[in-house]
C-alpha cells in the first residue's frame, strides 16, 4: 500500500487466481500492482520470484505448504505471507490477515466487498459434492449426514495426513448459504465483476 513503485507480481494470465486477487485488492482497497503476465505456470513464477524478476505471486494455501520450493522458502525465511482469501484464517497462517480483515482496515466499499465475494467464492467452495436438481430434501439430508460422518472417519484422516492434505470441510448448509449470497447481487456488482474478469 505504501510502496513508491507498485510491486511486480507474476501471473500466467488474466484468468489466473494471482491476476484476479491483485485486481480485487486494487479495486477494493486501492493497492497497486505491476502484474507481469505470460508465465506458463506456477513453477515458472516461483523461479521468477527466486531470481528477483517478480517479488510476489498468489496461489492456494494447500499447494503452498508441504512441498517444494515452499518448504525451502520457509526454512530460509525467504517469503512472507501477506493476505489469505478465506473468511477464517488457515491454521498454517495464524498471523496472516484475511482479505476481509483488510477490507475492514482500509474501509472497502460494500460494492467492492461484494465484487470480491463473487470472484473469491469459487475458491471458498473448494471441491463441493453435488447432486442433481430436484433431488428430494430428505435425500439431501441423508447425503449431507453421510458425507459429514465420512470426513470424520479415523482412517480417512490418517490417509489425509499422510498425503499432507487438510480436511476442513464446510457443511452442505454452509455451502448452500454461501451460493445464495453470491448469486444475489445488484447489477452494479455483476457489471464490475464482468469488467474485471474481461480485462
Supply φ then ψ for residue 34, to 5 degrees. -105, 100
Q: By the 8 A CB rule, do 27 and 103 touch?
A: no
**Of the candidates 79, 76, 80, 99, the residue with the CA atom closest to the CA atom of residue 89:** 99
Beta bridge partners of 36: 10
Q: Taking the complete model, does pTM exceed 0.85, yes or no?
A: no
Supply φ then ψ for residue 27, to 5 degrees. -70, -40
Q: By the 8 A CB rule, do 1 and 28 touch?
A: no
- The DSSP line for the chain is ---SSPPEEE-S-TTSHHHHHHHHHHHHH----EEE---SSHHHHHHHHHHTS-SB----HHHHSSSTTHHHHHHTT------B-SSS--TT-TTSPBHHHHHHHTT--HHHHHHHHHHHHHHHH-S-----TT--HHHHHHHHHHHHHHTT-HHHHHHHHHTT----PPPHHHHHHHHHHHH---HHHHHHHHHHHH-
Q: For residue range 99-112, list pLDDT tens digits in order.
A: 999 999 999 999 99
How far is Cα 156 from Cα 151, in angstroms, rounded to an integer? 7
Q: For residue range 31-86, list pLDDT tens digits in order.
A: 999 999 999 999 999 999 999 999 999 988 878 887 899 999 999 999 999 999 98
C-alpha cell, 125: 467452495
Q: By the 8 A CB rule, do 13 and 19 touch?
A: yes
- Residue 24 confidence (pLDDT): 94
Q: Which domains does the chain have, with CATH numbers?
A: 8-125 (3.40.190.10)
What is the band of 199 on the pLDDT scale with cuts at 50, 70, 90?
A: low
Amino acid at each position: 500500500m505504501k510502496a513508491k513503485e507498485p510491486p511486480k507480481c507474476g501471473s500466467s494470465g488474466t484468468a489466473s487466481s494471482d491476476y484476479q486477487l491483485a485486481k480485487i485488492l486494487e479495486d477494493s482497497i486501492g493497492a497497486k500492482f505491476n502484474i507481469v503476465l505470460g508465465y506458463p505456470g506456477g513453477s515458472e513464477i516461483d523461479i521468477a520470484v527466486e531470481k528477483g524478476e517478480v517479488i510476489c505471486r498468489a496461489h492456494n494455501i494447500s499447494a503452498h505448504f508441504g512441498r517444494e520450493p515452499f518448504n525451502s522458502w520457509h526454512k530460509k525465511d525467504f517469503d512472507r505471507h501477506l493476505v489469505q482469501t478465506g473468511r477464517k484464517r488457515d491454521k498454517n497462517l495464524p498471523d496472516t490477515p484475511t482479505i476481509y480483515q483488510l477490507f475492514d482496515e482500509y474501509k472497502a466499499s460494500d460494492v467492492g466487498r461484494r465484487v470480491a465475494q463473487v470472484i473469491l467464492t469459487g475458491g471458498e467452495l473448494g471441491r463441493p459434492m453435488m447432486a442433481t436438481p430436484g433431488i428430494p430434501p430428505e435425500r439431501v439430508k441423508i447425503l449431507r449426514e453421510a458425507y459429514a460422518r465420512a470426513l470424520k472417519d479415523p482412517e480417512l484422516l490418517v490417509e489425509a495426513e499422510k498425503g499432507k492434505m487438510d480436511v476442513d470441510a464446510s457443511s452442505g448448509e454452509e455451502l448452500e448459504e454461501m451460493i445464495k449470497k453470491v448469486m444475489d447481487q445488484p447489477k452494479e456488482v455483476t457489471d464490475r465483476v464482468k469488467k474485471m474478469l474481461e480485462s
